[in-house]
Chains A and B, each alone.
Chain A
């Protein structure tokens, strides 16, 4: 059951209905196309790099239905080169569990299909779970890592999602969030605003005939709390060592924290 508040409905309506893999792919392609200068996939690599995945870890990736982050973590843990460098025993490799949680079953299906294409259809390490970031179905203190990439902006109650993240993480577990954020650099900020409010809605009009959705998208990015405010929200949820790293001058930011 999906509860979207009215204001979110506009943006999420295309995700709320069943869409084909092509459409889902196009949607996320659109986003990374619109923010082409932010090169999302490079930043997802950076996110996983910061996480430093290890064999035997239990990881939860939220709102990552299509599996971008999950596949990267899987590769990081299972890459042959890495295994050669470190002394990893097969037993702990077997224990690795990467849970992908998404509120939208269609996105999960896309992810499962992509997993099948990589030959990971029956792999026990990747687990696709349908769930709500604000009410996770996982046990307390069960995860070594929690990531959410370009997903927390769409969560209705961010504090709830943060509280849930805190709940499911083990002691010492890390929280990492990759999200579109605020730019402060003088000239670049103006350019970015210009691009966001002038170019994107017009592109939307041109390509999809849907100015409102894109206008809404841009506004939702602006409405999301700025880096420091979000960091303090994370701290309020109980996390320690809250830090953030600006990428592309602040267009994208990675917030990280630890549960202690």
Chain B
């Protein structure tokens, strides 16, 4: 998933602060998404592909088995090229597998069919870590790449107000999922597996970050995390709404999306309103609680003296 960010790095549109916000988590990285050598050196774990060391994934005591999938696993002691070849091959197989997803779902069968298309033995699927998740995550990365490409090739976003820009970007991104809509619930459930959650969470965080970046930061004075969370919420709810939308060209979904975005933008106002509202009722509630406490204190001071507390 760092391909997306790495592209920005190369194109110079990347700020240093954004780079820091996605520190690399060793345990969640999908090996195939390492970019070329230039990018991994700047963002990557230095002991990974560049290190060319065999690292012993052996962890705890005699009864524990250490899987090569959780750690980085031993590397070839030769040049990086051979390892990159496997990742390319994996990417090729996964890409070919996507064609079979509408019929076979996000499953090993789809990946085996994809591997046959590429001309590789289906055995290779057995070596993908978290098999079906690999396919879903590959797709998510691809969509993010496509989105970035679309953004960079110009969308005429300048003419739109921020809320409309967000709507437009989310719409573009969600439309990429339309061909797989019949099997998308399966993809969502795969992403929700505890094992896969770290990666899927990260991918969505990156997606949301890209969208905000494209919209133009500083549109409002809300906190960075709040912005990402709100947009993440809007995106997820729209995505789920889309699962059951039968309207022609998903018109209902886009209407739903626009409503959600409007709500989100009014959120600052509604947070303020909520605060005032709370104060209004709170005044009454607070007063009565306070009154109670005062009463209690008086009773205690009358009977027990100040040593009660």
B106-123 CB mask vs A (1 if < 8 Å, else 0) is 011100100100011111
8 A Cβ contacts from A233-248 to B: 235, 240-248
A228 x B54 contact (CB < 8 A): yes
8 A Cβ contacts from B93-129 to A: 104, 107-109, 112, 115, 119-127
B195 within 8 A of A: no
Q: How far is the CA of A246 from the CA of B68 in the complex (A)?
A: 9
B32 CB, nearest partner CB in chain A, Å: 11
Q: How far is the CA of A227 from the CA of B73 in the complex (A)?
A: 12
B89 within 8 A of A: yes
Q: Which residues of A contact B86 (CB under 8 A)?
A: 240-241, 258, 260
Assuming A172-B115, A174-B123, is B61 touching A242 (CB within 8 A)? no
Q: Of A37, A144, A170, A260, which contacts B62 at CB under 8 A?
A: A37
Q: Which residues of A contact B78 (CB under 8 A)?
A: 235
A185 x B58 contact (CB < 8 A): yes
Q: How far is the CA of A99 from the CA of B169 in the complex (A)?
A: 54
Q: How far is the CA of A251 from the CA of B119 in the complex (A)?
A: 37
A240 CB, nearest partner CB in chain B, Å: 5
B120 x A245 contact (CB < 8 A): no
The interface stretch among A24-32, A47-55, A131-139, A158-166 is A47-55
A246 x B57 contact (CB < 8 A): yes
A258 CB, nearest partner CB in chain B, Å: 6
A87 within 8 A of B: yes
B57 x A172 contact (CB < 8 A): no
B66 within 8 A of A: yes
Q: Which residues of B contact A240 (CB under 8 A)?
A: 76, 82-83, 85-86
Q: Which residues of B contact A87 (CB under 8 A)?
A: 104, 109
Q: Of A172, A188, A246, A256, which contacts B121 at CB under 8 A?
A: A172
A244 x B68 contact (CB < 8 A): yes
Q: Of B66, B83, B109, B119, which contacts A241 at CB under 8 A?
A: B83
B57 x A245 contact (CB < 8 A): yes
B123 x A172 contact (CB < 8 A): yes
Q: Which residues of B contact A249 (CB under 8 A)?
A: 58, 61-64
Q: How far is the CA of A174 from the CA of B123 in the complex (A)?
A: 6
8 A Cβ contacts from B21-74 to A: 54, 56-58, 61-68, 73-74
Q: Which residues of B contact A57 (CB under 8 A)?
A: 122-123
Q: Which residues of A contact B122 (CB under 8 A)?
A: 54, 57, 144, 172
B126 x A246 contact (CB < 8 A): no
Across the interface, name the chain B residue whose C-beta is closest to A145. Answer: B123
B127 x A256 contact (CB < 8 A): yes
B77 within 8 A of A: yes
Across the interface, name the chain A residue whose C-beta is closest to B128. Answer: A52
Q: Which residues of B contact A188 (CB under 8 A)?
A: 61-62
Q: How far is the CA of A244 from the CA of B72 in the complex (A)?
A: 11
Q: How far is the CA of A8 from the CA of B61 in the complex (A)?
A: 33
A20 within 8 A of B: no
8 A Cβ contacts from A20-49 to B: 37, 46
Q: Which of A51, A145, A169, A242 has the largest number of chain B CB atoms within 10 A?
A: A242
Q: Which residues of B contact A79 (CB under 8 A)?
A: none
A86-112 CB mask vs B (1 if < 8 Å, else 0) is 110000000000000000000000000
Q: How far is the CA of A53 from the CA of B123 in the complex (A)?
A: 8
B115 x A260 contact (CB < 8 A): no
Q: Which residues of B contact A246 (CB under 8 A)?
A: 56-58, 65-66
Q: Which residues of A contact B57 (CB under 8 A)?
A: 244-246
Q: What are 24 A-to-B residue pairs whose CB atoms are below 8 Å? A: A37-B62, A51-B126, A54-B112, A54-B123, A54-B125, A144-B123, A169-B121, A170-B120, A172-B89, A172-B115, A172-B124, A227-B74, A228-B54, A232-B76, A240-B82, A241-B86, A243-B73, A245-B66, A246-B58, A248-B62, A251-B62, A258-B123, A258-B124, A260-B86
Please name the 3 residue pairs, one residue from A and one from B, whose CB atoms are nearest each other, closest first: A52-B126, A172-B120, A172-B121
Q: What is the interface of chain B, defined by CB distance below 8 A to chain A?
A: 54, 56-58, 61-68, 73-74, 76-78, 82-83, 85-86, 89, 104, 107-109, 112, 115, 119-127, 131
Q: What is the interface of chain A, defined by CB distance below 8 A to chain B?
A: 37, 46, 50-52, 54, 57, 86-87, 144-145, 169-174, 184-185, 188, 227-228, 231-232, 235, 240-251, 256, 258, 260
